[in-house]
Structure 1
């Protein structure tokens, strides 16, 4: 009777047999694919962009990667238990649409020996185009050679407290499980439809299933992004290099990353860095709300505010300074996104939609007249009373002197006084480098800052007099010139907090005092403690 079972499998794969679904053509899955593309050749900077895609459900599969019942890391188990219910909702919704569901708990096939979904995967007809290396791990694809892998996972990535881990290992051993590989099945929150789903951890079996069903599009979810989701024989790299349209559900995944390892960011920032790497060099990503509605999933412990950095200036290389600063120190406590100007049109900030989700807007822009809808996003953020931090050229960010904006573009000539309480009227000579001194006051932004004077690498801005409601924290002085404020806070008319400093030269970022002050300023603007309490050194 084995031939009958094979015919039934083939009919299921071809869509003629289904559970609770018509064989009529389904509506497409309308997805917004997020990806990253370099701002300019060899710039090392990336726009974060979206493109729409309509996928035929009948030509789409979702693979649930290694969503095991238990794990060697107790923290990994805790996070998996958070995403599993949401992932189950996604699976149910996709299954109803006719998407093929493949359960892939690696190393657990013995548990499913007699399961119909396991037998269905085994019985799928062998594909004529089986890739040569489809049963092998894939550790890198050629596109990744252009980047640097963002995290150190050489310690295995376990982020458990050592004492807690020892107790967890003893608990697993007492249950007769191997502490380093205790899994035996998929987590039971994820339901397997015996009538139509598939169970396999084999690259060739999963490829056979997909080819028999005419699968062109593959959705990956599960754990762990930096290891199994990327590298398994059915993982993202293999899918992409063998011609499938692949995406990762970026809010339903997790990494094995230990914050004690480089780049020493929070666990959740570590996941973000891997997702960024995937979007740059492997494939796009989506979020679960695109399938089931509501909001993106977020781990309960992930309380990082979202800092969006607008970077569009060519004088002080803040694109590079801030890119590094976003990882160290901000990566410990903040989620940071970047918006850069187009290489051909300096007034077009690609990906500015992300401003709408910002908790804090960080501005390093010089004399740009933005597209009208882009500047409106900036205005809306500020009108909502949300915090703003600006450095250096932010005082003249959205205004070009003696030039009217082109059609479809807009300026904000009073951005400096409106948002920062400033009064920028130019700067002294580029060779007149000011000595930086700190105000003799107590303020959260100056906490843990070594107040030893130093010389900035940037010219002294003319900003006096400041508006009422400002509090000066730093001053700059050059012999023979009047002293000028270098950094201050401002409570805006809308009630929001702003911080501005005319510092921001690349040499300033080499000064520990400046780095700590800027970090404190972000925390103050968000009414939140600074990301780290490192003491600045002279």
Structure 2
């Protein structure tokens, strides 16, 4: 018999039941040394499935105000996205812990604060869980990547003075003006927790059986890493902790070592974390779409792939990029597999959002997935820069590639418009000259017209494609000139720049440094600076 009251009750029960979500499918990015003590790292990913009931998100120090106005502005920019992340995670059954340090007085009567205080103590607490953690043993192998000893303020001087004055006019301490978490983030009074204490947070995780923890908030290089509930403490005490790398920010001043942009400073800290502390994830893994990017972060993404054993470019190229590209570019490094020559781990993933590809590879086959990613990148008409052995990067002299791999024998003519067919003996120096008719080309901007002596072997590359634009030539005594640097408009409408320079001695020469810098800016479609400070001393690295 139809009973309307019973049906109404059942429907009400259905619509008020909590949503039962599936597992969280997470892609964790981490870095692994190519071989012990190499100092080079593969950037890799792995997939994990997490139960929402066994997962927490900790929101670290996303305060309403800060002594650095730019820090406030960046928080205001990413906080709405973070609120969306928290809302979605909460719906799926993830525990949300708000941790605005030093602001517990403001929340003394808040149900989420009382809930945290009433959690039963864990049977055991990790040693020093109530203290800041400034380093864990795994970090001793690395070098801290930025100088934050000035506090990391990146306001302009006048801006900072005006901001301090505004805070004082509000009756606030300009050195510590925060009093609560930003109102741009929702605190669910029925479900969430509020705490800034390491033992309380640990009690919450213990009581709810939580092993998976996502850290978000600010600032990555300070509070997110070091707080009693931060990445270091949770990592060293066995939690499966990750940083949500697009829902964070750093306190880094570009006027301090290593003299890179603020956003590159953040990248360097994230890289340090991935190597020595914990993996990272991105917000889109919970809410879809694409990872968050600050509107001011317009850096083109340069991917540098290194897989050759003759010229030490796995050393010289990162040193070059670290010294000169950090202000205007986001840079990713892909190194050869030290135990399998026909593999460049992480290459396919790096190419997904690359804007410029720099190749220093010699006679390698690639796994099918990596070769597919390379072809897709090139067919899309994106720029390619090759140095030295890149003209025979994916050629095995016609030999059959190992099973599961693929070569690209015609890579040189198809991508560079080149014609590599050997080289002169390495003991014979060659003389490099600027092609007079091309001297106004952007890539030759700031390049001396004086003859340049190359001590690496001169490549035999003549004749190059008719559609190539020759920039530099070289010759050994008694032999015809050979093309040394040129640009090429590819059939896919992309552009390439190739130079047979790139011997390890070339990287010490301002002429080659300027040539490669110009080529990268040109390929990225960025204005080439009139001057580069190629002689700027690099401050010795310290553990800040």
Same fold flag (TM > 0.5): yes
Native 8 Å contact 2:423 2:457 kept in 1: yes
Written as runs of structure 1 = structure 2, the 5 A alignment for 1:35-184 is 35-184=30-179
Written as runs of structure 1 = structure 2, the 5 A alignment for 1:202-221 is 202-221=197-216
Deviations 1:209-238 (A, max 9, x none): 111111111100000000000000000000
Q: Which moved more, 1:239-248 or 1:400-409?
A: 400-409
Distance 1:257 1:519, change over 3 A: same
CA separation in 2, counterparts of 1:130 and 1:263? 39
CA separation in 2, counterparts of 1:509 and 1:30? 44
**TM-superposed deviation, 1:454:** 2.8
Backbone CA RMSD of aligned residues: 1.5
**TM-superposed deviation, 1:108:** 0.7
SS at match of 2:449: coil
CA separation in 2, counterparts of 1:426 and 1:37? 36
CA separation in 1, counterparts of 2:153 and 2:510? 31
Matched, 1:380 2:380: no
2:251 to 237, 241, 256: 256
Native 8 Å contact 2:224 2:230 kept in 1: yes
**TM-superposed deviation, 1:28:** 1.1
Aligned to 1:516: 514
SS at match of 1:332: coil
**TM-superposed deviation, 1:376:** 1.5
1:443 to 424, 438, 441: 441
CA separation in 1, counterparts of 2:431 and 2:473? 8
Aligned to 1:405: 401
1:462 to 453, 460, 463: 460
1:360 to 347, 356, 362: 356
Deviations 1:319-359 (A, max 9, x none): 11111122221111111112222111111111122212111
Deviations 1:459-497 (A, max 9, x none): 100001111121122222222222212111111111111
Aligned to 1:239: 234
**TM-superposed deviation, 1:124:** 1.1
Distance 1:24 1:500, change over 3 A: closer
Aligned to 1:196: 191
Native 8 Å contact 1:387 1:526 kept in 2: yes
CA separation in 1, counterparts of 2:305 and 2:391? 13
**TM-superposed deviation, 1:26:** 4.0
CA separation in 2, counterparts of 1:252 and 1:26? 23
Matched, 1:289 2:277: no
**TM-superposed deviation, 1:377:** 1.1
CA separation in 2, counterparts of 1:533 and 1:190? 45
1:428 to 413, 424, 431: 424
Structure 2: give runs of 5+ residues left out of the alignment. Answer: 1-13, 536-544
Native 8 Å contact 1:74 1:160 kept in 2: yes
Matched, 1:370 2:366: yes
CA separation in 2, counterparts of 1:375 and 1:192? 47
SS at match of 1:386: coil
CA separation in 1, counterparts of 2:47 and 2:408? 32
2:26 to 24, 27, 31: 31
TM-score (norm 2): 0.93
Native 8 Å contact 1:448 1:536 kept in 2: no
Aligned to 1:507: 505
Deviations 1:409-461 (A, max 9, x none): 11111111111111100000010121222233211111123333332231100
SS at match of 1:337: strand
Distance 1:459 1:21, change over 3 A: farther
Structure 1: give runs of 5+ residues left out of the alignment. Answer: 1-18
Native 8 Å contact 2:132 2:227 kept in 1: yes
